[in-house]
Homo-oligomer: A and B are copies of this chain.
Amino acid sequence: MEEILRIALAQINVTVGDLKGNVEKILDFTMQAQRLKADIITFPELAICGYPPEDLLLKKYFVTDNIKALHSLVERISDIVVIVGFVDRDKEGNLYNAAGLIHKGKLKGIAHKIELPNYGVFDEKRYFQPGNRPFVFTLGKAVLGVNICEDIWIKGGVAKYQGDQGARLFINISASPYHSGKVILREKMLKERVKETNAYICYNNLVGGQDELVFDGMSMILDAKGKKIVTAKQFEEDLVFADIPITGKNKSKARVGCKYYIKLDNFKATEKPDLPKRYCKKLDRISEIYNALVLGTRDYVRKNGFKKAVIGLSGGIDSCLTAVIARDAIGKENVIGISMPSRYSSPETQSDVKVLADNLGIRLITVPIDSIFSMYLLVLEKEFLGLARDVTEENLQARIRGNILMAFSNKFGWLVLTTGNKSETSVGYCTLYGDMAGGFAVIKDVLKVLVYRLARFRNEKEDRRLIPDSVFKREPSAELKMNQKDRDILPPYPVLDAILKEYVEKDVGFEQIVSSTKFNSEVVKDVIQKVDKNEYKRRQAPPGVKITPKAFGKDRRLPIVNKYKEY
C-alpha cells in the first residue's frame, strides 16, 4: 500500500484576544478532523490570540496568557499532529510570530516566522524578532517544512531552504488580508513556489473580519506540479482535507540527520474513510468584493457585541447599498433605517427610502429634522447676522442627523453604520461628526462607480428589485441646500474615481496622472488638493472594510500638518 498523509486545513474565524474561545474552536475542528482520520491538522497564523493583536503584544501578561492557552490546547491533543499559530517568547523577552507543532500532549517544536512584513497594514517589526532557523520535521517517512505567511512569498527564501533540506510538503499558516485582486496574486505566488521547490504546499489562511481587515480564507493545497487539489471556501469557515503520497521521492531526499529536524516517527499510515466530495466555485470580482463587505460588517458588529445596527437612509445609492449589505450581514430583523428629511429632501428620495425599507423588510423610523434645524438657525442668528449661508448651514443639518442617529444608538444599543464611500471620503465631501458619525464605515473603501456596480450586482442576484431603479437614475445629491448636485463641486465620478485610484491607491503624482489620464490638469490639481486637505477628517473617521490595495486607515499614514505640494 502506498503510504499517504491525510492533512486537514482548518480555516477558522477566530477573535482577537478571545484566547479561550479560540482554543475551544481549535479543539472542535481538531475533533472533526480526527473523525476523518486526518494525520495532521493545521490552523492559521496566530490562531490562538487572533490576528493582528497589535499593541496587546506589548502587554507581557497577554503574551503569557496566550502561551498558557497554547498549553491548555497541547494537553488535550492526542494522536493527531496539530500545527497552530501563537506568540512565542524567549528568555530575553523577545517575541516571535510562531507555529507550534503539537503531538501526543506535547509541544514538539516551534517554528518562528522569518520574514516580518512591515508595510501597508502590517507592523510586525514593531513586535517580533525574526526567526533564524527554517523549521523542518519528519512524520514517519514524510519530510515537512512549516513556514508562516510572508515566509512563503519570498523567492529563494524560507521555502527554498526547507526544500533543500528535503521537505516535500510545506505547511504555510497565514493571516493574509483581502483586497480585490489578492487571490490571483496568492495563487500565482504559490505556483511559483511549487515550481521552485517541486513540493506540495498546504496554504492555510485565516477567515473573518478584524477592525478594518477582512481575511478571506480560500485556503488551498497544491500538488508538486502546482495543481490545486483542494480549495476552501472564500469568506466562510471551512475544513478541507487532502491525501498526500509520501512514498518515492519524499523519502529519497530526506536528510533526517539534519540538526534542525524534529522527528515524529511513530507515524503509521492507516486505512482512511473516504473524503467528502466538494466543489468550490470561484467568485467573480464584484461578488468577491460584496462578500468581503458583508463579512467585514458582520464580524465588526458581532465581535463588538452588538446585535442590531442603525443606518441613516437618505434615498441615495450609498445608504441604500449600505442597508442591503447590513441586511445580508446581520439579518433584516437587526437593521433599522432612519429617515431624517429636511426642507431640502425631495419627495423622490423620501419615497425611495420607504420602498427600500419595504423591499428589505427592515424597520424604518422617520425623524424630520427641520424644526431642530430652524432652532439652531434661530439661536445662531445673532452671531451669524448679515453673513451669507454657506457650508456651515449644510453641515449643521448633517450633524443634527449624526446626533439623532447617535441618540438611537445610545438609547437602544444599536451600532451606527455610516454610509460614506471612498470617493467622498477622499475629497472630504462629507461632514465630520455628521454623516461621518458612527461606529463602522461599511463602504469607506468603495469608490462611487463601484458602489453603483455593487448595487446593481446585488439587485440582479435577487428575484425582485431591492434598491429602486430611480435611485440609480437620479443624479447624486447631498440634499443639504436647494438644487444641490455633487457635480457642482466634484468632477464626474468616473473621472474622480480614476484620479483617486492613481493618487490615493497607487501614490502616483500630479504630473504623471495628468500625462497618463489626459484629464484637465486643473481638475487633477483640484482633486489632489482636496484629498490632501481632508486628511484631518479621515483621521477621525470610523474604520471600514478594506477592499483595495490601499485603504484609508492603517494602510495610508499621512501627516495632517503637511505643506507639500507637487505642483
Interface residues of A (CB under 8 A from B): 15-19, 21, 49, 52-56, 58-62, 65, 118-119, 123, 125-126, 209-211, 299-300, 303-304, 365, 367-369, 371-372, 375-376, 378-380, 383-384, 387, 390-392, 395-396, 399-400, 402-404, 406-408, 410-411, 432-433, 437, 439, 507, 509-512, 536, 539-543, 556-566
Contacts and interface: CB of A to CB of B under 8 A. Distances in A.
Contacts of A126: 118-119, 123, 557
Nearest to A62: B564
Contact of A56 (B59, B372, B542, B564): B564
Contacts of A565: 17
Contacts of A299: 561
B561 A210 contact: yes
B125 A17 contact: no
Contacts of A383: 365, 367, 408
Contacts of A539: 542-543
Contacts of A433: 399, 402-403, 406, 433, 437
B211 A58 contact: no
A380 B404 CA distance: 8
A125 B372 CA distance: 51
A387 B304 CA distance: 25
Nearest to A51: B559
Given A55-B558, A564-B62, A371 B378 contact: yes
Contact of A566 (B61, B368, B540): B61
Identify which of A54, A367, A433, A536 gathers the most chain B CB atoms within 10 Å of its CB.
A433
B211 A559 contact: yes
15 contacts: A16-B559, A17-B562, A17-B564, A65-B564, A118-B126, A209-B561, A211-B561, A300-B561, A380-B407, A396-B407, A399-B433, A402-B433, A432-B437, A433-B433, A539-B542
A390 B410 CA distance: 9
A290 to B, nearest CB: 21
Most B C-beta atoms less than 10 A away, residue of A367, A368, A375, A396:
A375
Given A210-B559, A540-B542, 8 more contacts: A54-B557, A55-B557, A56-B559, A59-B507, A300-B561, A403-B403, A539-B543, A540-B541
Given A17-B564, A58-B507, A399 B390 contact: no
